[in-house]
Amino acid sequence: LTHPDSPTFGRWECVVLSPGTALYVPPGYGNGLQALVAGSVYCYLLDGDFDPDAERVVNLADPEIGLTWMQPVVNVSPKDREGISLDAYVAQL
């Protein structure tokens, strides 16, 4: 997500990962995933201890983001469904 003053704020990019590959997501950036194959495993690696108070969950269905998924969305976790809008995220900064 970066910061609202950044030219990349609110933009998204789709990256398809193959088995055994990884993607670095810098601190301050958001990430979401859609498993394209049953049994997929998504593993986070952190650069420090996890701080749940620092976590922000933005609802990726927010029309302002304009995200399109590669396949129809059939399963969304309750945590992600209850995520805030992009505007609410900005208001928290």
pLDDT digits (tens, 9 = 90+) for 24-60: 988 878 888 898 888 888 888 888 898 888 888 999 8
State how far the Cα of 53 lies from the Cα of 60, in Å rounded to an integer: 20
- Report field, pTM of the whole predicted structure over 0.75: no
Q: Is-contact 65 8, C-beta < 8 A? A: no
State how far the Cα of 15 lies from the Cα of 4, in Å rounded to an integer: 23
